[in-house]
Each structure stands twice: as structure tokens, then as C-alpha cells.
Amino acid sequence: MKENNVIKEKRNLLGLTQKDFADALGMGRNGERTLRRWENGESSPSNLELEHILQFASIVPFKNRKRKQDFKFIDLFAGIGGIRIPFQELGGKCVFTSEWDKFAQKTYRLNYGEEPNGDITQIEANEIEDFDVLLAGFPCQPFSQAGLGKGFEDTRGTLFFEIERIISEKRPKAFLLENVKQLKGHDKGRTLQVILQHLHKLDYFVDYEVLRAADYGVPQNRERIYIVGFDTRQISIDENYRFPYPKPTYQKTRLGDILENDVDEKYTISDRLWEGHLRRKREHQEKGNGFGFSLYNAESPYTNTISARYYKDGSEILIDQGEGHNPRKLTPRECARLQGFPENFIIPVSDTQAYKQFGNSVAVPVVRAVAKQLISEMKRLQK
């Protein structure tokens, strides 16, 4: 088979566009055009380049490979599976996944060897295999009309109720929910209180804590709320019990430890964008507030929180490249490291989609620390 057909067949097998594949292969600013020329037979890759293409995503790194698992879990609002990885490391078997975003589904499939189910609102609980632990990094849907009474229940779009529905019908021994820190104070704390009340009514013990990624060896100032629950019908819970959230390690972090040495020029922001950043920062300073871009270097202990909007202008995390050079955005691989994903995690999508996916994901080392405690406590307290 000719090289052009081999490349096209590989790309189609992965379900990627030329833009996705070129970015995923790290082909640089003109990568899409180069790949198109290869596929059209107008030019040919070197032997090394062809080998790189053929080896890409040839192994599914996080497939369920153990024959015997200690417990079963499900992964809801799974994104790219950041919460799944630590629970699988602890001996768990994922028996069901739900994620509606087609690009996240692609990343999930190539890393875990499973196609996630789609919209959770369309899935009946009896379609899900019995499991021990429910995991969900559920979206922070508009809770604005939430109150302590009917108001919350009338917020039909709130996807927390899908979690409640599945917990109620399947009765897992434990669950872990993750959300933005702001959930704790939303609507003067009433939103969180309603969530807790709904879970308590199902006879679940519930506890929550806000944990900061930078306190657990991740060079990112990311704060998230982690809500843990145990089924009191299956788990012995004393009335004075508190879940032992992992103690911060306070391990020193340094941004340079996750930065790549050789970075393509396409990640350097344009003169126009940089001038816009500088202008907006000046305007904010004149108004007396601190908004604007954030500049970091290799010696910075940690960055700002990466968000799903990072692809737009990179303003929350820009890397200083020295005098005479515009700063640059993080590369997708650096974003993966900033969230603590393993080095063998496959990034099979365009840079834009990769930024959205890692911005929406979790700090894996923090989840790993919580997961160890949750599984340990579930086994220790089981009736």
C-alpha cells in the first residue's frame, strides 16, 4: 500500500480530521497542509515521520486489563476520564461511562478502549450494570434559581438530579462528586445545602471539602470541591464520623518541571494579541482592579487555574520567553502535565479541543489522594 493510503487509513481508523491528526502528531504551524500533501501523494514523509504516524495511538494505555477487580465503578460526565484513572489504579473496574461531547468521546475511546454512552438523561438506571462507586465531575449548571424548597427541584436542566436518580435506583456503596469551588458559596450556600439534603434523604452519609491542587504537588492554583458519600445501609457510619480527606503534602512545585524544552513557534502569541493583553491590563490597573493576563516562567511555583476557555487567548497562563519575545501559551502536553495526567495519555484532537478538555478536567493527583481514602474507608466500614 502506498504511503499516502497508509496515512489516510490510519487517520480514518482513529476517526480524526486532518487538523486533529496534524495537531495530535505535533506537526507545527503548517502541519495540516503538510499532512494533506502526504495524503494526496504530492510529497512523502521521511521514514521516521511515517513510523511516528503509524505508532500513534497504537496502544490503548488505560484499558481495563486486570481479570479480577476489587470493586466496580461508573464514570458520569466523564470528560476525558481524569477521575477514572486513580480508581482504576486502585483495582477498580469501570462498567459504565457517560459523556456527550463527541470530541471528549474520541479522546476517551483512544485512551480507555471504550466508547462512552451519550446523554445521561436518556439512559435508564436499569441499563447500567450494578456497581460499588459512582464518580461524577458534574457540570455546574445554572443553579441560580435554586432555593431550599421547590425552586431547586424546578430547575429541570440541573444535571445533579441525574446523579441523584442513579444513586437512588442503583444504591452504590460510595460516590465521589467534583465541582467548582464556587458551588460551596453559590446562592449564599443554599445550592450546596439542597444537594446535601437530597443525598441525606437517600440515607447517604455525605461530607465535602475544598482541596487545592498546589497543595498536592500540582503546579496549579486550582481549588475544587470534593463531595464524598457512603450508603449507610451498607456502610457502618458512626454519628461522629468525618471522612478523612487526604492531608496536603505541601510538596514544593515548580512550573519548569512540566514545561517542554522544544516548543513550536505556533504557541507564541501574535503581536496583535499581546498588544491587546497589555492594553486591557493597563485599563484594568487604571480602574484599580487586578484583572488581565497572568505571566509565568520556569521558576514560578504554580500557575493560575486552567479553564476551558484557555484556547481563546491563553490569558490566564502565559509563559514568559524573555525580553524581545512575545510570551506563549502552554502546549496541550503541558496542559496534560499541569493536570497531572500520565505521560502516556494520548491527545488525539486539535489543540483547541485539547485545551477545552484539559481545562474541563480534574487535577489527577488530587483525585488519586481522595480515591485512596474513599476506597480504604469503604472497605474498612463495610457491613
Which residues participate in catalysis according to the annotation?
Answer: 140
Q: Which residues of 197-224 are buried (b: 16+ CB within 10 A; e: fewer)?
A: ebbeeeebbbebeebbbbbbbbbbbbbb
Range list of β-strands (E), 41-141:
71-76, 92-97, 133-136
Task: Please report where in the chains the cell 496534524 appears, as a residue.
Answer: 22
| Distances, alpha carbon 127 to alpha carbons 77, 95, 96, 183, 198, in Å | 17, 11, 10, 30, 23
Going by the DSSP 8-state scheme, the letter that residue 16 receives in this structure is -
The answer to whether 103 and 360 have CB atoms below 8 angstroms apart is no
Q: Which set of grid coordinates corresponds to residue 67?
A: 481479570
DSSP for 162-207 reads HHHHHHHHH--SEEEEEEEGGGGTGGGGHHHHHHHHHHHHTTEEEE
Amino acid at 383: K
Please compute Rg for the chain using Cα positions. Answer: 22
Distance of CA 6 to the CA centre of its chain: 32
Percentages helix, strand, coil for the chain (3-state, rounded to 5) are 40, 15, 45
Task: Give the span between the Cα atoms of 44 and 370, in whole angstroms.
Answer: 49
Residue of 126, 132, 122, 61 whose CA lies nearest to 94: 132
- C-beta of residue 294 within 8 angstroms of C-beta of residue 221: no
Helix H or strand E encompassing 296: strand 295-296
Residue 191 cell numbers, joined: 445550592
